[in-house]
Amino acid sequence: MADLQPGARVPDDITFLGPDGPVRLGDLIGSKVLVLYFYPKDETTGCTAEACSFRDQYQDFQDAGADVVGVSRDSAEDHAKFKANHRLPFRLLTDKGGEAAKRMGVKKDFGLIPGRVTFVIDAQGVVRMRFDSQLKAKKHVGEALEMVRSLARAA
């Protein structure tokens, strides 16, 4: 699939693995704005910095009417350890084999490293923002929060 850019509708049949089983993207959309961020690997420097930035701003996202969900290829067990180690209040889901990333146009960097892309998806399932940067891990949070707040102001 081509890169999902602002204005595109997300495929609601994409499925991730959660700690209790499959989670459909369509089931995450509807009542709130969804900040869905793809990251390469639990417990790596950039990914930990990004997750902790989302953690530190999580209440701001909640107050602005959004939920945050992180996605990587790591197992549910790895996610559970990562969440516990860094007190992450949001869900982490598994993209086994990178299929969801492919369908959403999240490409590997240098053909090897899973991409780091943040999507802000409105309650109708439309992408409102896509931020793609492997190196500016913490900037994903600020960009997403700014978009969520602008959507809240427009509502």
Name the pLDDT band for 2 (thresholds 50, 70, 90). low
139 burial type by CB count under 10 A (0-12 exposed, 13-18 middle, 19+ buried): middle
Q: Which fold has domain 15-154?
A: Glutaredoxin (3.40.30)
Residue from 25, 35, 47, 51 carrying the catalytic annotation: 47
Structure confidence by residue, pLDDT tens digits, 56-70:
999 999 999 999 999
Name the pLDDT band for 13 (thresholds 50, 70, 90). very high
SS (H, E, C) 72-117: ECCCHHHHHHHHHHHCCCCEEEECHHHHHHHHCCCCCECCCECCCE
Residue 47 annotated as catalytic: yes
For the chain, domain boundaries: 15-154
Q: Is the pTM of this model over 0.85?
A: yes
Residue 136: which residues within 8 A CB-CB, separation 6 or more? none
Q: What is the rounded distance in angstroms from the CA atom of residue 34 to the CA atom of residue 40?
A: 19
Mean pLDDT of 68-89: 97
Task: At 91, list the tokens.
Answer: 């869900």
Name the pLDDT band for 75 (thresholds 50, 70, 90). very high
